[in-house]
Amino acid sequence: MTERILAGRYRLTEQIGMGGMAIVYRAVDLRTGHNVAVKVLRPEFNEDIEFISRFQREAEAASKMTHHNIVNLLDVGMDNENRYLVMEYVQGKTLKEVIQERGKLTAPLACQITIRILSALEHAHRNGIVHRDIKPQNILVHADGHIKVADFGIARIADSSTLTRGDNVMGSVHYFSPEQARGESAQATSDIYSTGVVLYEMLTGRVPFDGDNPVAVAMQHLHATPPPIQSIAPDVPQAVSRVCMKAMEKNPSARYQSARDMASDLRMALEERNERPDPSFNIKQPKPQIEERKEKRSASSRTDLPNTLRKGRNIILIILLSAVILTGVTFGGIAIYRQVMTSVKVPEVVGMTLEEAEKYLQREELYVNPVYVSSDEYEAGIVFLQNPLPDTITRKGDTILLTVSSGPVSVPMPDLRGYTYTDAVTRLQALNITRITVERVTSTEYAPDIIAAHSPEAESPLSREMEVTLYVSGGEIIVPGLEGLTLEEAEQKAKEMNLTIAPLLQYVDTESETEHGHVSAQSPEEDSRVMQNTAITLLIYRCSFMNPYSEITITVPESDKDQTVKIMIQPEGTSTEYEDANITWTAEAERTRKISVKRPDNRNYTYIVYVDGIQTDRAPLPLE
C-alpha cells in the first residue's frame, strides 16, 4: 500500500487486518516512534450517526480500562471523514493461528491461556464492559508468550449485525452465545459462553458447532449438544472438560456467573492432575517469590565446639546481625524516603478544560496524554474521563490519560434540495435528527412543497442536538420568464412551477420565421408573485408567410333570435384552444357562411364551433 499519514501523526505502513467494521493498519506514531495498530472505520459507516454514537461511547468506556491482558486503547480521533482507534501493537500471532498450526493444545496450556482471557474479562466486566465477540481471532499471543485480548469497547457495535452479513459474521457466529443467536442483548455470561467455546477449540482443535452458513451454526448453539471433549481428545482431564461444558450451558443462569469463578475452577482442575504448562509454549507469568532456604547443620558439629568459641561466635554474630539490621533500616529508610518524596496523589481534573487540567497536573509534576472523543454530553475541550482515577497514588513524572470531548458526534449534512418535505424529514429522522423547523419561501427553481434550501448547508457537520431548518417552496410563486420559449416549452415550464397557461391564446404577426410559434409577451409578467395554479396568458408570434388560410363553411342551427357564433382552433393532441377575432359574428337570417381560418403553424388542427357558448360542431381544419 502507499504510505499515508493519518491526523498528521500516524504513518500507516501496511494493512494487517480487515473486518466487517474496520480496516487495521500497522503504523508508526511520529511523536513517539513506537509501532501502533490503527483501526480505521469503513467509509460506509461514516454517515450512520447511531453507529458512530455507539462507536464513540464504547471507545470512551475502553479508555477507562488498563490491564496487562487487554490491548490498550491509546487514541481515538477523526481525520477528514476517517474515524479511527489507535491501540498498542502486539508483535505475534492470533490464537486462531496458533491453533491452526498445532491442531490442538495440551490441557495445561489451554487452561493457562483461558485463565488469562478470563482475567481480562473479569476486569472488563467490573468496568461494565461486555466484549460480545470473544473468539481466537481476537486473542493475541505475543512473541514472548504474553496473552492480550483485543477489540474491547468496539465489539459491542458488531453485535448489531444480522446473521446474513457473510464472512465477517460467519467468523463470529461459531462463538456466539445462544442469547446472541436469538438477537438478544449480550451479558457478562455471554462472554463466558464464548470463552468456553474457545477453550473447547483449544482442547480439541475444532469448534463445537459448524455448518454451511451462519444461520445453521446459530441454530446449533440454540438447540444442539456439543460432542463430548473426550470423544475427540481422550487425554483431556475430566475436571477440565467439566469446566468447559459448564461454561457452554445453554441457560445463562447455569453457567459460571463470573469470569473469576471459572478461572478458579480451572486452576483447581490443573492442581488435581498436578499439571504443568507446556514448556514448548512460554506463557508469561508473574515471577514466583523465592523461598528462603534454611541451612541444616548437624547437632553434633555444634556441640563439638568449645563453649568459649561458641560464645565468641555468638558475639560476632550479634554484631554482624546488628550491622545488617542497621544497614537494612538505613537503606530501607532511604528507599521509603525516596518513594514518599517521588509519590503523588492524582488530583481530579474531570470537568476542567484541557488547558486547565494540564496546568493543574504540571504542578504535581505529572504529564498529560490527551485522547479526543466525541461526546453529546460535554462541550468541546472539556475533560470527562481520566486514568488513573482521582486520589490514586502514582509517581511524579508519570503520564495521566485524559479523555477530552471533541464536541458532539457528527455526520455530514445531506443535500436535501429537490426532496419533497416528507422525504426530507424521513431522511433526517433516519439520522436521529428531531429538531426540525420549516419556513415557506418563494422560488423560481423549485415547485411548491419542494425543499429549496436548508440550514446547515450540505456537508456541514451535523449532530443530533442541532436544529435543522428546511426552506420549503410554497405559498406565493415567482412567475418565471416565458418570453422566447416555444409554446410547448412554456407549457412545460409553467407545469413544473404549478402554474397553467390560459386556454385563450393571442397572436401577433411577425415576418420572422425564427420568431414564429414563440412567446412574444406574457401576463402576469416575469418575477410577479402569484398563487399556485394561476393561469398565464401568452401572446404568440405568428408568421403570415408560413401559415396559409383554410376556408371552411359554417352552418348554425335555426333560431328565432340572434345567435353569437365563435370559431376556435385546437392543435391535435392538445387541449389548448386558439381564437381568431375575425371569425366571430352574430347570426341573424344568415345561417350558413364561408370563412377563412388562419392556422398559427403547420401542425394539424381541429376547428370547433360554439353557438351562444355551446359547442355545435367539431372537425379537422383542412389544409389549402
Positions annotated as catalytic residues are: 133
Phi, psi for 494 (deg, rounded to 5): -65, -40
3 state DSSP class of 219: helix
Cβ atoms of 263 and 121 closer than 8 Å: no
State residue 462 phi and psi, 5-degree precision.
Answer: -130, 125
Give CA–CA dist 257/188, Å, rounded.
8
Q: What is the CA radius of gyration of the chain?
A: 43
606: cell is 381541429
Q: Is the dihedral of CA 271, 274, 275, 276 positive or negative?
A: positive
Which residue is associated with the grid cell 426530507? 424
Residue type at position 290: I
Provide the terminal-to-terminal Cα distance of the chain, rounded to the nearest Å. Answer: 78
8 A C-beta contact, residue 15 and residue 38: no
Alpha-carbon gap, residue 208 to 177, rounded angstroms:
12
The span from the CA of 197 to the CA of 117, in Å, is 12
Chain-centroid distance of CA 157 in Å reads: 9
What's the CA gap between 602 and 346, in Å, rounded? 93
Output the DSSP codes for 413-477.
PP--TT-BHHHHHHHHHHTT---EEEEEE--SSS-TTEEEEEESPTTSEEETTS-EEEEEE-SSE
Between CA 84 and CA 37 the distance in angstroms is 10
Burial class (CB in 10 A: 0-12, 13-18, 19+), 150: buried
Give the residue among 497, 519, 515, 510 at the shortest CA–CA distance from 545. Answer: 510
Q: What is the DSSP pairing of strand 139-142 with strand 147-149?
A: antiparallel
Count of alpha carbons within 13 Å of 483, Cβ hemisphere only?
A: 8
Before 237, cis peptide (omega within 30)? Answer: no
- The H-or-E segment that residue 74 falls in is strand 73-79
600 SS3 class: coil
β pairing state of 477-478 and 504-510: unpaired
Cross-strand bridge partners of residue 564 = 586
- The tally of CA atoms less than 13 A away on the side-chain side of residue 357 is 27
Helix (H) or strand (E) holding 619: strand 614-620
3-state secondary structure 10-53: EEEEEEEEECCCEEEEEEEECCCCCEEEEEEECHHHCCCHHHHH
Element (H, E) at 325: helix 307-342
Query: Measured in whole angstroms, how far is the alpha carbon of residue 65 from the centre of its chain?
Result: 23
DSSP SS3 for 190: helix
